[in-house]
Chains A and B, each alone.
Chain A
Amino acid sequence: DAGVTQSPTHLIKTRGQQVTLRCSPKSGHDTVSWYQQALGQGPQFIFQYYEEEERQRGNFPDRFSGHQFPNYSSELNVNALLLGDSALYLCASSSPTTMPGPNTEAFFGQGTRLTVV
């Protein structure tokens, strides 16, 4: 059973460019969340997708957008990249549920390490 898979694993972009990161959730999961983890920090919630719609969003600017496809896979798009966007981007999937709870484990992919130069 494949876990959460993300691509690419590493990426180098130039300031002002746009980037698309991809995520395939764990089999049987329909909810995908994206997190940004800067060096030395904990992951920060960007947004969550469920039933192909953005269900909740964290404190990130509109430059960060996403999409979920009918097969539950997801993309994270970042426009007009800034140096401060350099981070590990983590995708997490979870089993069908209405909200997090004690039994709602989020499974993380290995992440995409984005470097903006």
Chain B
Amino acid sequence: GQNIDQPTEMTATEGAIVQINCTYQTSGFNGLFWYQQHAGEAPTFLSYNVLDGLEEKGRFSSFLSRSKGYSYLLLKELQMKDSASYLCAVRAAGNKLTFGGGTRVLVKP
């Protein structure tokens, strides 16, 4: 089976940086995804990692260490619109996708 853990909630100030950690245990690994979900809306894709290292995409970066079963999503220059839930998801062999419970990020002025 698969187990994915991420913090439930984080608070940060506008303009700051926040790092959301995700740890996972999986039988077979075929990639890790991060999604953003605003309240009442569908998730939207942010990033994908399959190899170790950092992937940067504008203000968002995602890091993966397969040996440690660890990833993080880094949000820089936080804006009010970044207040949302951030979902970590792992794709196992066979393309089954398992999501973590999500981290709700609250950005304060």
Q: Do A and B bind each other?
A: no
